[in-house]
Amino acid sequence: MLRSSRQARHLPSPTSPVLPPPPLPPPEAEAGELLQPVEEQPATDTVVAEQIPSDAPPETATEDNPARTVFDDLTQAAASIFAAAEADAAPEAPMVVAAVRAALHSLESGDQLLTETVRRRSEADSWSHRSANVAIMAMRLGRGVHFDERRNLALGLCGLMHDLGMLTVPEEVLSANRLSPEQLKSLRQHPVESQRIVRTFGKAFDWIAKVVVQVHERHDGSGYPMGLVGEEIHEFARIIGLVDTYEAMAQPRADRQARVVYNALKEIIDQRNSLFERSLIKALIDIVSIFPLGSLVKLNNGEIGRVVGTSRLHPTRPTVDILVDPRGRRLPEARLLNLQDEPMLYIVDPAIEEGVLTRS
């Protein structure tokens, strides 16, 4: 049985050889091979994404908050994957694919699901929750770079499984403020462990294993575990790597608060063409806007709110949840405010620290 990080600290982490990078077929060919209908798929190479009928209902969201239901279903699917990994079993493929497909359909109808991830980012205290966040953001970025539905579905599945190897990282490494060389080596083994775990799910998952091992590779060759460069890195891994970095910066951890989201985005922009390619960073900026989704901003009337919606037509006038009143008092409930409807109000400080919410 695969042990959780809390159990694994008493045992040496299993090791797997790092496989050479897979050949990279043209994206459209890859999508056709991975996600073609069951009846067209060779019997010797069944693909997990088609163990569910193509006409399955796209989502089971409730009418009052469809995005919340879709988000909860995706988080549950991610949790089932992590549970399967710990039990040395394969995840329930139809349920997982249905949840990813529902999330993709939700993103195609608007950004409500993306907003839901921002509003609930502080709840992301588990690997399954964080993996769901990454899958959603990755598929949204996939839409921004014009992936078709099949490629984006494949991308979402990879995003949901990209960090399974963290289950094998000892707890003392995860909670350390500063890593020793040995601890850093252990941490950098986790993409290989992700690959190994996904391969245990069965042959249908092999294509995902080839992606997850590359998520921490970087454009300039400074990543790990293989030091791949540029287009040697699978395009799914490039997207997930960027999104995972952004989410990690915006997510509070035991040893630190979340970075100011505005500053996190600026930090990523400064890494264009080194750690990440310029075109993907531009696509990320188009999604999160000048005032990134999830960032805290201060208005000219003294109120503080969290950005929950953006507008391409009016990028300086996002929609915010007002959380703190002009006197610095935390509101019992957030008040939704669209700055496009309030011409006398505007943002005066785009980089408010998260700590202001605990002090108010």
Q: Is 345 exposed, middle or buried (0-12, 13-18, 19+ CB in 10 A)?
A: middle
Give residue-wise pLDDT tens across range 96-120: 999 999 999 999 998 889 888 877 7
Query: Region 8-20: what's the mean pLDDT?
Result: 38
**What are the structural domains, with CATH classification, of the chain?**
5-288 (1.10.3210.10), 296-359 (no CATH)
Query: What percent of the chain has pLDDT above 90?
Result: 48
Sheet containing 347-352, strands listed edge to edge, beginning at the edge strand earlier in sequence: 330-338, 319-324, 304-309, 296-299, 347-352
Give residue-wise pLDDT tens across range 134-191: 999 999 999 999 999 999 999 999 999 999 999 998 888 887 778 888 888 888 999 9
Residue 129 has pLDDT above 70, yes or no: yes
The per-residue pLDDT for 360 is: 64
The per-residue pLDDT for 147 is: 93
Give the integer Cα–Cα distance in Å for 265 and 183. 28
Residue 337 near residue 310 (C-beta atoms within 8 A)? no
Query: What percent of the chain has pLDDT above 70?
Result: 77
Give the integer Cα–Cα distance in Å for 73 and 191. 25
Give residue-wise pLDDT tens across range 44-88: 233 333 333 333 334 444 456 789 999 999 999 999 999 999 999
Give residue-wise pLDDT tens across range 230-243: 999 999 999 999 99
Query: Region 305-316: what's the mean pLDDT?
Result: 84
User: Which of 142, 186, 219, 253 lies closest to 15, judged by CA?
Assistant: 186
Give residue-wise pLDDT tens across range 191-217: 999 999 999 998 888 899 999 999 999
Residue 266 near residue 295 (C-beta atoms within 8 A)? no
Residue 270 has pLDDT above 70, yes or no: yes
Whether the full predicted model's pTM is greater than 0.85, yes or no, is no
The per-residue pLDDT for 268 is: 85
Start-to-end CA distance of the chain, whole Å, equals: 46
Query: Region 223-235: what's the mean pLDDT?
Result: 95
Which pLDDT band, with edges at 50, 70 and 90, does 125 fall under? low
Q: Is 308 exposed, middle or buried (0-12, 13-18, 19+ CB in 10 A)?
A: buried
Residue 15 has pLDDT above 50, yes or no: no
1-10, 167-176, 275-284, 316-325: range with lowest mean pLDDT: 1-10
